[in-house]
Structure 1
Amino acid sequence: LACGLAPGAWSLVAARVAQGAAAAAMLPQVLATIQAATSGGRRARAMSLYGATAGLSMVAGQILGGVLVAADIAGTGWRSVFLVNVPVVVVGLVLAARFVPETRSQRPEPVDGPGTVLLALSLLTLLAPLTEGRAAGWPLWTWLSLAAFPGVAVAFYTVERRADRAGRTPLVPPSLFALASLRRGLVLMVPFSIGFSGFMFVIAVALQSGEHMDPVPAGLALAPMAVAFLFVSLAGPRLIARYGSRVVSAGSVIQGIGIALIALAAWRDWPHLDFGGLLPGVAVAGAGQALQLPNVLRLVMSEVPAGRAGVGSGVMVTTQQSALALGVATLGTLFLSLVPHQGVRDALIVTLLVQLGLVVLTGLLSLRLPRTVR
């Protein structure tokens, strides 16, 4: 609500910070509740549905955002993108109070203050310069921030390892990474999320600035991706029960084919790339993503004990969200830097080829996942 009513840029930024902090406090609890309140087949179905919902909402949000901005409901313009959350939250509060079981710990651990501060500084020194550097002209502070990142990250790991060895519960326990499924799944999630968010940002900018599409047609061009993601992800539990983590490898191959088809369509049809030209590529890419994201999320949490569900889900969500932000910062910066020199079409194709490389890396990493998923 504060974002939608913000009178200026800085008040919007402050409200966004509060919104992000609240989301970070809320989202990991969804996974933690699933982990603590379910087991066996019910947990497998719940985790698969969570992954399907997460992936579908990221695509659907892009479409809905364009529709809301173009509709300009009651003259709200961009504000409607934030105000639409208010009734959703009200409904969510009612449903949560009625249906979500209580999973509060009988012996809650104290907050890891030093770890929290150092992790925040680590993410800030990495993401802030990458996100704002190009627009600001890469001033001195961006390079100093990037130079500080390795040192802050090492300090964070040292503090967490010391707390873990002392028997306390740090924010990110290094001992948690002894679980092969969690460790390897998180490593795979980084290139996948970078490519996912980078693609969503770049394709929206390319279609609106290069093809001069309005927000609604640009958003609807991705609708086949959402539809394919929904139906393929629903088949995920049966597929992974039968074929194990090979489903994730197959998803990488299928997504790679989809990205290649999109790049081919851009090379062939530009500047007349339309819904029909994008349809095969985005549908195939969405199907491939649906075989990866829900199953990787489920695999990461598959061996985490119920008592550490909150920590495990927090680590996973932080990794995913950081990689999503990194994708917009890196692939977005690459695309926008290439546009003045090569034009929108060639910049888009180069960025898609870089994403294709990330998809190949994701496929190679998937070969190291445990073959069976508990």
Structure 2
Amino acid sequence: MKRLWYPPGAGKIVVDVTLTTPDEKPPAAGPTTPSAPSNPSAFSSYSAPSSPSPLTPLGLLTILLGASLSSIDFFIVNVALPSIERDLHASPATLEMVVAGYAVAYAVLLVLGGRLGDTYGRRKLFLWGVAAFGLTSLACGLAPGAWWLVGARMAQGAASALMLPQVLATIHATTRGERRARAVALYGSVSGLGVVLGQVLGGVLVAADLGGTGWRMAFLVNVPVAVAALLCAVRSVPDSRAEQPRRGDLGGTLLLGSALTALLLPLSEGRATGWPLWSILLLAAAPLLGWAFAAVERRAEDTGGSPLLPPSLLREPGVRLGLALGLPVFIGFSGWMFVSAVTLQQGLGYGALKAGLTLVPMGLTQVAASMLAPRVAARLGGRAMTVAALVHGSGLVVLALTVLWVPWSSLTPLALAPGLALCGLGQGVELALYYRIVLAAVPAARAGAGSGLAATVQQSCLAVGVATVGSLFLSLIPALGMRRAFTAVLGVQLAGLLGLALLGLRLPRRLS
């Protein structure tokens, strides 16, 4: 006989006993029998998980299509801003709100989107998010005025916040081992390529002026894509959710939204409006609101509540290190995309189409590198991040030397291609490893909260990068000129990549 051990403090334990008749066979024990949790105190609330269906190739393609919509639309508007300004008579501050409104709503609601998916089902929230994204894209494309467009863009950011966390959470819950590593690598490539493709596609659509739509087609093109993604998702995306859905956290949601808004709104709008008093006060309030949010979440978890973002996630070393790795990656990347758009169009006089096509070498090498990222990580382990950062940095050095040595009027897309290709190689591996490192440390039951946290850091850094690096670039132009201001900003980004290379040395030799 086996001696049964009951953990202390477990409360009442009910054992389900199945009696069999002589002509019946007892159920065989197999891999479907859930193992006991490692923490004894968890017995009191433990329930057997219902395994979601495996993610099929079509299902993966469908959720990655949704992820690409979110990423593309963050940047597709950049090359369309001059046309929007002329057509809607928008002021520079209003134009920045067209970009910032999407970013702020996106970042503020991402964690909530992940929690809703954990509770109500990730497939359902993905479907709602895709449908809402299609409708809000239609509202953007039909906008009769500038502030209508600002409001529609904020709603579009909210729809993306419903959709995107379900992508990573579904991958985390429905894949294992090498299949998960490949899926995460594909997500990293789609996320990064979407930024570049947004610039290229925006330039193509604005230049084509299909049916006289001009900039509006940059938004209207999302509608049929969203419909196709919705139809595919109904049949191919498996459902998954947390084993024990948690209650809502209204206080945490309001505090997180207030803290991110207090940080991102002044950084996005402060320079355009001359840094008025409200922007300074909001920036001063941001750390206080962040502290209040952390205190509320810590108290909720300690008292058995349902915090929006469990502080215990941040106690995981892999999560903390992964988030730290994301800071130089995303701040530098978004700053670079903004600076390059201004330099190519205003400095070198490229049209929207030519400016977008100039970035194609970076996009192509980024996709290739992200596809190879699992093999690189298997061979180099954590050192792959260091190598990727150094390759990315070498691309910035080549770009800086090209801009300084080649005559300004002779800077063609072909001359810029070698440096851009090196940047894409580094970025492809960096993006894939970021999500792999963060998600590997997140328990499956908290996949939605973990993916929401990873995506919130990404989107917040994208907004911060445009605001800080972009503002630095614009402030340097009057004194240094655009050529030297561009190389100075590349130097700032290079410093961040050197820090990323050092952080990469702290990663384990073998990545899970």
User: Is the shorter-chain TM-score for this pair beyond 0.5, marking a shared fold?
Assistant: yes
Distance 1:167 1:369, change over 3 A: farther
Separation in structure 2 between the aligned mates of residue 241 and residue 312 of structure 1, nearest angstrom: 24
The answer as to whether partners of 2:242 and 2:446 remain within 8 angstroms in 1 is no
Q: Give the superposition deviation at 1:267.
A: 1.0
Q: Does 1:367 align with 2:501?
A: no
Aligned residue for 2:36? none
Separation in structure 2 between the aligned mates of residue 321 and residue 114 of structure 1, nearest angstrom: 22
The answer as to whether partners of 1:51 and 1:294 remain within 8 angstroms in 2 is yes
Q: Give the superposition deviation at 1:237.
A: 1.0
Aligned residue for 2:206? 69
Q: Give the superposition deviation at 1:102.
A: 0.8
List alignment gaps of at least 5 residues for structure 1.
none
The answer as to whether partners of 2:389 and 2:497 remain within 8 angstroms in 1 is yes
Q: Does 1:247 align with 2:405?
A: no
Separation in structure 2 between the aligned mates of residue 73 and residue 302 of structure 1, nearest angstrom: 45
Aligned residue for 1:296? 434
Matches within 5 A, 1:3-14: 3-14=140-151
> Among the aligned pairs, what percent are the same residue?
53
Separation in structure 2 between the aligned mates of residue 171 and residue 263 of structure 1, nearest angstrom: 43
Aligned residue for 1:82? 219
Aligned residue for 1:356? 494
Matches within 5 A, 1:135-284: 135-269=272-406, 270-284=408-422
The answer as to whether partners of 2:344 and 2:350 remain within 8 angstroms in 1 is yes
More divergent stretch after superposition (196-205 vs 299-308): 299-308
Higher RCO (CA 8 Å, separation ≥ 6 residues): 1
1:108 match: secondary structure: coil
Give CA deviations for 1:123-162 in whole Å, capped at 9, x if unaligned: 1111111111111111111111111111111111111111
* One-letter amino acid of the structure 1 residue matched with residue 251 of structure 2: P
* One-letter amino acid of the structure 2 residue matched with residue 306 of structure 1: A
Aligned residue for 1:334? 472
1:6 match: secondary structure: coil
Aligned residue for 2:193? 56
* One-letter amino acid of the structure 1 residue matched with residue 511 of structure 2: V
Separation in structure 2 between the aligned mates of residue 274 and residue 11 of structure 1, nearest angstrom: 38
Separation in structure 2 between the aligned mates of residue 105 and residue 122 of structure 1, nearest angstrom: 27
* One-letter amino acid of the structure 1 residue matched with residue 345 of structure 2: Q
Aligned residue for 1:346? 484
Q: Give the superposition deviation at 1:249.
A: 0.7
Q: Give the superposition deviation at 1:95.
A: 1.2
Q: Give the superposition deviation at 1:168.
A: 2.3
* One-letter amino acid of the structure 1 residue matched with residue 213 of structure 2: T
In the alignment of these two chains, the number of paired residues is: 374
1:371 match: secondary structure: coil
Q: Does 1:45 align with 2:175?
A: no
Aligned residue for 1:322? 460
What is the root-mean-square deviation in Å for CA atoms of aligned residues?
A: 1.2
Give CA deviations for 1:2-44 in whole Å, capped at 9, x if unaligned: 0111111111111111111111111011110111111122212
Matches within 5 A, 1:102-121: 102-105=239-242, 107-121=244-258
TM-score, scaled relative to structure 2: 0.72
The answer as to whether partners of 1:51 and 1:293 remain within 8 angstroms in 2 is yes
The answer as to whether partners of 1:4 and 1:80 remain within 8 angstroms in 2 is yes
Q: Give the superposition deviation at 1:284.
A: 0.4
Give CA deviations for 1:163-212 in whole Å, capped at 9, x if unaligned: 12122231111101122111101111011100001001100110100100
Q: Give the superposition deviation at 1:107.
A: 3.3
Give CA deviations for 1:272-298 in whole Å, capped at 9, x if unaligned: 311121011000010011121111111
Matches within 5 A, 1:85-104: 85-104=222-241
Distance 1:271 1:342, change over 3 A: farther
Q: Give the superposition deviation at 1:106.
A: 5.0
Aligned residue for 1:2? 139
* One-letter amino acid of the structure 2 residue matched with residue 299 of structure 1: I
The answer as to whether partners of 1:254 and 1:285 remain within 8 angstroms in 2 is yes
